[in-house]
Structure 1
């Protein structure tokens, strides 16, 4: 329970920090009056992997992000819109950023680096801004203060390969030292909870799961070919009520719950169809009119409930498919 709260707290802090960055490094106030400032978000692959699990496209749009583009993609000038950059301070990225300054792609530039940037690279950016006469377009002073821990000798382990297997890598090697008397088999078994199994067994990355779907059997002169399999992606976000409720539940309980939810939805769908059929009654006597009025009220209520559960039905089908794959 403590670990879950801590993880939620870290996620919330990361989200708040990103929203502050997207709001030109000013604290974001929810439901604030007035329209947001429209802007463009420019990121590299590292920045994309950080933002995508935390902020949806709708949330980015609510923050005023009209476009979100990769730094090294072909981008057209939008000279009346500010741009927020969120990139690693690599040599290649700095060169492309300087090129953007020279080409005067945007109205102003808000530069945010994922890790500490060296003074020499800051000077490269400043020189590019001077050469392009774009000094007035730089909206915020770059943070020149280096992190103290980068000067620590203990971090020299990563100086040889800073972007490969070093401190900025998402896949670091792991060395485990254990007592030979410890039973190693048990820790290597899959945890019997839904979220852990999805992470371990399925193609799950950045809160998105990819499932294979069969498209049918192909007939050929030599006989039926194997079914084609296409991959379909689903986002497992806090909006998914079933995921939020059952991600920590034992897997057998999840399989049972998703079946119950689907049966409940189908029963409600059948009720809507039945009421629609009854609405086809014809007759002008008082009994028919009274029955029609009662059924209209019931149908309105049922359709209202049904429309609210359509997204949930899609979620239930997703979880049924993922449970079957596991």
Structure 2
């Protein structure tokens, strides 16, 4: 997926140049489109495409009358007015205006009205693209829709039905772009009810349109994949738990964004931050991103020792002239590779130390092990749990631990309610905002209240009823939370997270043993399954799949992605692409829970 998007964006950035030619030009983008480019095309690659200068659309720019300009932007009304203003000021010689997703007719009419006074429009070319997603890995993408969980759960007083319909349409647009770039026509499977099924139905319609317009031409020689859409509510604990996985920790603790980590020097806070880029060209990252933190720390130390040993060996002197000349020759030929290796080793050593500082300062290892232990009542030390909530870690760490504890409790009776209330008061007394807990409590009791009143002031529109189904099975899901969270912390060889278990069931061979076949059929009966090509419902248990595209509606995380990849490694001929409406860390997810707790009435 990452390579396909890179090729498509490269074609956009070539502008009017033919293949093999280089036409020097400027690139104008908005922030979302800049983020699409960032993980896949570095500055050197942009230069190779003839880009000499790249600037944000919303900034003030000087006239460069001899240079053509390539625009890569979203088709919003504000962007259209800015582009039209550039044309009116005659800033560039040519205008290649590329929208990251197709522009609507009303907006196109607005652009036409803005450009009507320009005497010469022959140097303006407008093109629709299907590139409104960010490919962070070859098999991992996000739509970068911030606060998606919050939006999908907000009451009607905050998000109207019309706004919700538009938001669902935005999700459909991004996911359809991914499928179009992959040139696949999947069978579509989703959990029943709620936003996931709404997206599934609309994606099916969009794919059929692509077929009719011959934009989608899937290979007849390849078997069709399955597109599985899931709701975030089906597994909330994985978004709250403290991870011990290298990539997850970089995201959760050091704020990795778009495969970049920004680190400040703790000894010199006023110094400029260092930016570390992590990509598939990095051998160490490629081999260790999914490993446990302590394994990565050991391997980084080993790599540093190996580098020093190789450097000493290459720099060794000898009395024998031939040997000395050979050493010099080897050193010169290895200089480039050694420099790259040194950069990678230094980067991962620094990142490992930065993580270690946070682990020690906040006792994140204790949080991790306590969350594991509370899943096993025989080893759970209540005193350690109470110590962490009373003294150690940040307010966010304490809140996450408490919410994990809440999810780990399968049945909530009077005694459990009393226990939760006690800790709710204690944490609030420490100044911790407990509104996220208030929202989760309301979700847990969702099915005990009238669904018709679940959205404050909502009328009974078809959309409202469908969205109410989003949380209708939450009580059953919470009962499974203990098992789910326990899965999050066992070794990756032992356990499958709930999402991975669903993928495993769907990708099982229908001709497998009668026991697993029956279990697969029982599980798939609870799903909405249809074939976009025929528009008919299907029995997905009768199909044999080797490829799956898994999409989490409401936000995803690296822990789920890594669990799918670990499962994939032990399968024969199976491949999974993972995507989500957004990629959030625990802090960002808790902020969305806080908003919902404050606004759900």
Match of 2:281 among 231, 239, 259: 239
Which residue of structure 2 aligns with residue 249 of structure 1?
291
TM-score for the superposition, normalised by structure 2: 0.41
| Secondary structure of 1:68 counterpart | strand
Supply the distance in 2 between the matched residues of 1:18 and 1:129 (Cα, whole angstroms): 26
In the alignment, structure 2 segments of 5+ residues that lack a partner are: 130-158, 175-229, 356-601
In the alignment, structure 1 segments of 5+ residues that lack a partner are: 1-9, 145-155, 217-226, 279-287
Which residue of structure 2 aligns with residue 320 of structure 1?
349
Query: Is the Cα contact below 8 Å between 2:314 and 2:330 reproduced in 1?
Result: no
Supply the distance in 2 between the matched residues of 1:143 and 1:270 (Cα, whole angstroms): 56
Which residue of structure 1 aligns with residue 263 of structure 2?
211
1:21 counterpart = 2:12: yes
Supply the distance in 2 between the matched residues of 1:262 and 1:175 (Cα, whole angstroms): 43
Match of 1:43 among 29, 53, 57: 29
Match of 1:192 among 237, 244, 253: 244
Supply the distance in 1 between the matched residues of 2:331 and 2:24 (Cα, whole angstroms): 41
Residues 25 and 81 from structure 1, CA distance in 2 versus in 1: closer, same or farther, beyond 3 angstroms?
closer
Match of 2:79 among 64, 74, 93: 93
Q: How far apart are residue 177 of structure 1 and its match?
A: 4.0
Match of 2:337 among 308, 311, 315: 308
Supply the distance in 1 between the matched residues of 2:112 and 2:296 (Cα, whole angstroms): 56
Q: How does 1:130-149 map to 2 (within 5 A)?
A: 130-140=116-126, 142=127
Q: How does 1:269-308 map to 2 (within 5 A)?
A: 269-275=311-317, 291-308=320-337
- Once the two structures are superposed, residues 178-212 of structure 1 have per-residue CA deviations (whole angstroms, 9 ceiling, x without a partner) of 6xxx9x76774344332222122212101100123
Q: How far apart are residue 294 of structure 1 and its match?
A: 2.5
Query: Is the Cα contact below 8 Å between 1:44 and 1:71 reproduced in 2?
Result: yes
Supply the distance in 1 between the matched residues of 2:161 and 2:73 (Cα, whole angstroms): 20
Query: Is the Cα contact below 8 Å between 1:195 and 1:248 reproduced in 2?
Result: yes
Q: How far apart are residue 122 of structure 1 and its match?
A: 1.6
Supply the distance in 1 between the matched residues of 2:282 and 2:128 (Cα, whole angstroms): 38
Query: Is the Cα contact below 8 Å between 2:72 and 2:99 reproduced in 1?
Result: yes
Which residue of structure 2 aligns with residue 152 of structure 1?
none
Q: How far apart are residue 159 of structure 1 and its match?
A: 4.1
TM-score for the superposition, normalised by structure 1: 0.71
129-138 vs 303-312, greater mean Cα deviation: 303-312
Supply the distance in 1 between the matched residues of 2:160 and 2:101 (Cα, whole angstroms): 17
Supply the distance in 1 between the matched residues of 2:166 and 2:274 (Cα, whole angstroms): 31
Which residue of structure 2 aligns with residue 72 of structure 1?
58
Q: After TM superposition, what 4+ stretches of structure 1 lie above 6 angstroms from structure 2?
A: 161-166
1:266 counterpart = 2:301: no
Query: Is the Cα contact below 8 Å between 2:315 and 2:331 reproduced in 1?
Result: no
Q: How far apart are residue 76 of structure 1 and its match?
A: 1.8
Residues 135 and 42 from structure 1, CA distance in 2 versus in 1: closer, same or farther, beyond 3 angstroms?
same
Q: How far apart are residue 59 of structure 1 and its match?
A: 1.0
Supply the distance in 1 between the matched residues of 2:238 and 2:21 (Cα, whole angstroms): 55
1:12 counterpart = 2:3: yes
| Secondary structure of 2:122 counterpart | helix
Query: Is the Cα contact below 8 Å between 1:208 and 1:234 reproduced in 2?
Result: yes
Q: How far apart are residue 69 of structure 1 and its match?
A: 0.9
Supply the distance in 2 between the matched residues of 1:97 and 1:228 (Cα, whole angstroms): 38
1:114 counterpart = 2:100: yes
Equivalent pairs counted in the alignment come to 271
- Once the two structures are superposed, residues 142-178 of structure 1 have per-residue CA deviations (whole angstroms, 9 ceiling, x without a partner) of 559xxxxxxxxxxx9674389999947x9xxx98546
Supply the distance in 1 between the matched residues of 2:52 and 2:161 (Cα, whole angstroms): 38
Supply the distance in 1 between the matched residues of 2:336 and 2:102 (Cα, whole angstroms): 49
157-166 vs 34-43, greater mean Cα deviation: 157-166
Supply the distance in 1 between the matched residues of 2:122 and 2:311 (Cα, whole angstroms): 61
Which has the larger helix fraction?
2
Supply the distance in 2 between the matched residues of 1:157 and 1:113 (Cα, whole angstroms): 27
CA RMSD of aligned residues (A): 3.5
Residues 108 and 162 from structure 1, CA distance in 2 versus in 1: closer, same or farther, beyond 3 angstroms?
farther
Which residue of structure 2 aligns with residue 160 of structure 1?
163
Residues 185 and 126 from structure 1, CA distance in 2 versus in 1: closer, same or farther, beyond 3 angstroms?
closer
Q: How far apart are residue 121 of structure 1 and its match?
A: 2.6
